[in-house]
Structure 1
Amino acid sequence: MNWTLEVVVVPVSDVEAAKAFYVERVGFGVDHDTTFGEGQRIVQLTPPGSGCSIVIGEGVVPEMPPGSLQGLQLVVPDIHAAHAELAQRGVEVSEVRAVDGDNDRLRRGGQALDNVGFVFFSDPDGNGWGVQQISSRG
């Protein structure tokens, strides 16, 4: 039996601001935006090419304070291109770094950054994201 992770709830304080950030700045697509009643709204957003979405909204998970989710991770084939795209879209993103401490990898670039090349950013509430380079899978 396959078990797939398909949705992660991200706690936010302002649904419209978070939706705008993820769509306009990070480039996620809107799968649906549904209001079920007073104080109950679910917005499902998916990164391009991903099988897993995030859900933001009202009345979704009240026990998770906005900004409390850390360590969400996206994977891209080119960390420098991802950095450039996020920066161009207005996201405050860290510089590319080699998390294993081998900064010579930054000079070599390309596949030298596979698995260890990262950038980091946060949404308007402080939920933390990492972006990792994996250019090919075995």
Structure 2
Amino acid sequence: MIRGVKFVSIPTRDQDRALAFWTEQVGFQVATDQPFDDKQRWIELRIPGADTRFVLFTPTGHEDRIGGFTSLAFWSDDLDATYAKLTAAGVETLGPPRKEEWGSSLLFRDPDGNTFVISTK
């Protein structure tokens, strides 16, 4: 039986730049960073305290996925505090958290232009 999500891929053009962004600005931790082929490394990141990992990797032929809206959503207990922390770290947000009837959300971008949503759980 399926028991969970092991990892989600975040497409990137520059793995070193992406690694610095996700670890230094967002606060993820490196789970593994090893050679994959002659062009890329296999870089898995984790959110402290969470099981799901994120891979900074773009399969050959899928470069067109870089820089769009992702189908990945993060969650936070406190969007206002998350917004303050991200903006203080220099992360590009698309405005402060928005409160809607269905809940609250916050959008941000990584250096490759990938857009992510953070919502309340």
The TM-score, its normalising length taken from structure 1, stands at: 0.77
Number of aligned positions between the proteins: 118
Pairwise CA distance, 1:71: 3.1
Return closer, same or farther for 1:99/1:6 CA change in 2, 3 Å cut-off: farther
Matches within 5 A, 1:42-57: 42-57=42-57
Deviations 1:58-97 (A, max 9, x none): xx51232222451321111111111111111110112110
Q: 1:75 maps to which residue?
A: 75
Q: In the alignment, residue 41 of structure 1 is paired with which amino acid? A: R
Matches within 5 A, 1:79-98: 79-93=79-93, 94-98=95-99
Q: In the alignment, residue 133 of structure 1 is paired with which amino acid? A: T
Q: 2:106 maps to which residue?
A: 119
SS at match of 1:85: helix
Pairwise CA distance, 1:4: 0.6
Q: Which has the higher strand share?
A: 2
Q: 2:41 maps to which residue?
A: 41
Pairwise CA distance, 1:10: 1.3
SS at match of 2:48: coil
C-alpha RMSD of matched pairs (Å): 1.7
| Overall identity of the aligned pairs, in % | 31
Alpha-carbon contact 1:10-1:69 (below 8 Å) kept:
no
Q: 2:100 maps to which residue?
A: 99
Pairwise CA distance, 1:37: 4.1
Alpha-carbon contact 1:98-1:116 (below 8 Å) kept:
yes
The TM-score, its normalising length taken from structure 2, stands at: 0.87
Find the aligned partners of 1:55 and 1:76 in 2 and give their Cα distance.
20
Q: Rg: which structure is higher?
A: 1
Find the aligned partners of 1:131 and 1:123 in 2 and give their Cα distance.
13
SS at match of 2:92: coil
